[in-house]
Structure 1
Amino acid sequence: MGRRNSGLNRHQKAWRKPGEERVSREDIAELLRLSESGDPEDRIVAATYMCPCHVRHRNEEVWKALYRMMEDEDARVRRRAWHTLEDGGCPTDPAFEPIVRRALYTETDRQVLGFARQFAEPFLNEDAVSRIREEKPAGRQLGKCDFCGSTRVPVAQDYETEIPAGGMTRAAWICDECSAGGVDA
């Protein structure tokens, strides 16, 4: 019994469940019409049911509508459309790249911006990726400072100093005191 779902991720398993409502090819025309509606509630319904767990085949018209709804004026519609990529979309689609880039610079909704950042890394060049990583707070933990030997103190990695460890090298751990004092290895 378990063999049927072995090797599938949780989203793939979810769409195999009997309770998951499937969209027929005939329903797609109605969803496409709803995706162009003036009512945001209609567009939310369309974005919800255009998800790959409901539409079980690749349909370019559906993806064009989803890409259009990713830039909708209503944030709820944008959230629902961006969510489709988590359920099995194709984030490497060339048509998706300009949408991600525009979202990174113009998006005001935090949740949609989070989706855009999640899918943006393959499209960004290495300089932009390193700039984003530098903005993240340094990974801090309790440990032993490699410079003064203090233990159970907050330490951060010092990538400027390499410590030999078992035939390899690793970044040194440095405490706040040593970091502020400018301790050199």
Structure 2
Amino acid sequence: MSLPALFNICLLLFLVMFIYAIFGMSFFMHVKHRYGVDENFNFETFGQSMILLFQMCTSAGWDGVLAAIMDERDCNRPTDDNEGNCGKRGIAVAYLVSYLIISFLVIINMYIAVILENYSQATEDVQEGLTDDDYDMYYEIWQQFDPKGTQYVTYSNLTNFVNALEEPLQIPKPNKYKLIALDI
């Protein structure tokens, strides 16, 4: 029941990561490796960008990445021939804060909301149980199959009896093997 909703949220998270990976490569591809940016977690390739963004969407290590892409000290400034390896302070803050808000605070909480909603629905269904109307319906149908009030229904009528019941007590035909599994 919750799988389609979770799949849609997963696709939305992938789309956000895809867009931010492209922007990250555009802005921070040549940033010097330090703090949270190293040879495995960086914006140099699309795959590494996606891995880094996935790590940050769990709120792990984002502060080190922010420090690395903001740091403008001890780096080569961009020239006509060279991209440089300096961070970009303003772009870094806007990029990372917007990504964290979208990915962690919105999308991850959507996962939690879907799971809790389905859990709530499941516990609500379990707590309802049988109502007085269900018992009344059971007694009325029992009287049709046991008109003399012997408190017994023959085995040959048992499949017809449980088929005649309404939900949630009904076991629709073919129900022979289900009744055998009940061991009654």
User: TM-score, with normalisation over the residues of structure 2?
Assistant: 0.22
* Structure of greater relative contact order (alpha carbons < 8 Å, 6+ residues apart): 2
Whichever structure has more strand as a proportion of its residues is 1
Whichever structure has more helix as a proportion of its residues is 2
Q: Whose Rg is larger?
A: 2
